[in-house]
Structure 1
């Protein structure tokens, strides 16, 4: 017999989801709801009020488990099992702040350390609500201190718990509303140094994890940390920071790590002498090599964005034209990735053509097709500023390029 033929008692139904309640809880207004539904309602509504009575509620309104109703629903499910009704399992009790605090204290005990860290990871991995609770209990600060301590004490041996601590921190910071909690530690240079140690330590033993997986976690956490760092931190980043992050481009540990590294370098580019330090660390060569191997669209956009930043300084342009495939790579990728990449490509060619245009470079631009691509920019539907930039560079070297078949006079005089 079909389960829709079974009459469901109306007080088993959640007023919000209109489904049988799995974890009934009663609000201060006396109305019972399914826990997930009312908690989502309270967390997302602009003006929080009881959906049934319209009485005002606070976002942290207490919700009392209605165990009597839950048992009635479970008994009814069992009684109607022959009609295809599944029994509702007894819900797990909500995570309490006191339980998290106890686990954090247990980290100080050698006997309980590993078990407590595993438990914290399972809690963080379960849902966003748990991650909020972990944050409120002070887990962020404890994990930062633990990672810093492990990096100092375990330079040559197995740093037990490092990968778990990084995972917990990453999962907590994935919870967008809690990103403000990272800002409390935004001036912690020691923590940055600890993450750089992980990125540069290819030979340490990391429990059952591959070092590449742990380094991916480290660059993801570092990227999140840099996003909220103060100007004073961003302007005082050591050369080791750029050495290790550029080395992550070279390692190509994972697509996730590559994107995080590119975003991180783009974010720090404008501050202090960071652009020069990135160039000095060898980023230009690595970016050209990366793009020559073919990348996903969103990764190519990041590569071209960073290259455009670096080519705005003389040393960056010098490194770019020293790479035998630099100009050819930019020309080849134009019109093949996205309008955003084309914008950056024209900007790069414009910088090279205006400030680094030796006879050899100008000749190479025509020989490998960069000139014809700039001509195409003028003929297709592109933004006026992009057409203007392409026309300016074509005019600048028109005496050399005027014999090119792709350089009709009207393109330069329009």
Structure 2
């Protein structure tokens, strides 16, 4: 294609690539459908035409006029120039078709066929995903997850819910309409008994929902809920699921009562094992952030000290990973040395090289607060 001069009017003004599905918008400019839909759905563009800067209507995706003549010219030109012919695009789906499909899917015998069709629609374009949400697909999929269906239906429904990238409004509506029941289903059924696939997508969905949940509700979560989140980390279902679980832990452990629940769920042991195994920077930082939160309570510090590698692995990550890891690692050691510094603990800190690490912290580039904590630890136990 590089050797052929492509007529400029075949190129999309946004992507500068040959248009596969040319459509004309209200400003009179023709774009490739996928490119202009991405532009319209982007929150940064204020729904203005990329070329003329004229305002586009909020329902612009419904008002795009397919430019069939230009598409046929492009297809003929591709054929004449021995370029792979661009296929005729499928007509875009509308909300009425989606509503009809959802109604059909309510019958058990049609459910899997409906779910496969919804997956295909969601994967086609961002426009389709927006239409699925506005047509009520989120509520339909959530009802399938809440039922005791066979695993394939739950797997498929959770994948689509994840793929939809549900808006903040949609997530809040889901939370309010089911009064926490959907979260309970995800945590105590899917995370506990679901397939690895279902557990992974449920964890990603929970992360988004917890970020919007009321703090009063988050503080009422039980130890059993924390056990399921920790098990996702323990089982190493996927890297994305592990990161989502760590984000959930950070969100939930803002409150002291939740820290104790997390410790009771064996979070400390699992986090230390993760820290021993991981070499990924962001992963190490997130684990240390959660460990820092949990060491804010006496139960957390006790569990850290009970693990044979707890102090050693935290010390090891200091100055070796990032500024964030160094700050959090020093904070953890500070909490231990300030509130749990028995003679045996201090001897262990000496043996695993904590003192030399603290001296190194004073010499390297890190935050002033971190240096102050290192100095204070050295002063507190200078005699030892």
TM over 0.5: yes
Pick from 73, 78, 85 the counterpart of residue 87 of structure 1.
85
Report the Cα offset of residue 59 of structure 1. Answer: 3.8
- Take 1:119 and 1:346, find their aligned partners in 2: how far apart are those partners? 52
Aligned counterpart in structure 2 of residue 149 of structure 1, from 147, 150, 163: 147
Q: Does 1:71 align with 2:72?
A: yes
Structure 2 counterpart SS, 1:25: strand
Looking at structure 1, the residues matched to 41 and 191 of structure 2 have their Cα atoms a distance apart, in angstroms, of 38
* Structure-2-length-normalised TM-score: 0.90
Aligned CA distance change for structure 1 residues 103 and 355 (closer, same or farther; 3 Å):
same
Give the counterpart of 1:192 among 183, 188, 196.
183
Unaligned runs of 5+ in 1: 203-210, 401-414
Please list the CA deviations of residues 91-123 of structure 1 after superposition, one character each: whole Å capped at 9, or x if unmatched: 111121112112211111233111111111122
TM-score by length of 1: 0.84
Q: Which residue of 2 aligns with 1:205?
A: none
Over the residues paired in the alignment, what is the CA RMSD in angstroms?
Answer: 2.4
| Alignment CA distance shift 1:16-1:281 (3 Å) | closer
Question: For the structure 1 residues 84 and 30, does the alpha-carbon distance in structure 2 shift closer, same or farther, using more than 3 Å as the test?
Answer: same
1:179 aligns with 2:168: yes
Q: Which residue among 200, 205, 225 is the counterpart of 2:209?
A: 225
Which of these two proteins has the greater Rg computed from alpha carbons? 1
Change (3 A) 1:111 1:57: same
What is the alpha-carbon distance in structure 2 between the residues aligned to residue 185 and residue 231 of structure 1?
17
- The residue aligned with 1:406 is none
Deviations 1:222-277 (A, max 9, x none): 22221211112212112221111112222222222211111111111113611110
Distance 2:301 2:356 in 1: 21
| 1:28 alignment partner in structure 2 | 26
What CA deviation, in whole Å up to 9, does each residue of 1:120-156 have, x standing for no partner? 1122223322211111111111111221123xxx5xx
**Residue 192 of structure 1: CA displacement?**
1.4
Q: Report the counterpart of residue 111 of structure 2 in structure 1.
A: 113
| Aligned with residue 372 of structure 1, among 347, 353, 356 | 356
Distance 2:289 2:2 in 1: 59
> What residue is the counterpart of 2:267 in the other structure?
283
In 2: Cα distance, 1:77 partner to 1:326 partner: 64
Q: Structure 1 residues 94-103 or 341-350, which shifts more?
A: 94-103
Q: Distance in 2 between matches of 1:255 and 1:11?
A: 44
**CA-to-aligned-CA distance 1:142-188 (integer Å, 9 cap, x gap):** 111221123xxx5xxx3440100010111112x6xx23311112343
Alpha-carbon offset, residue 194 of structure 1: 1.1
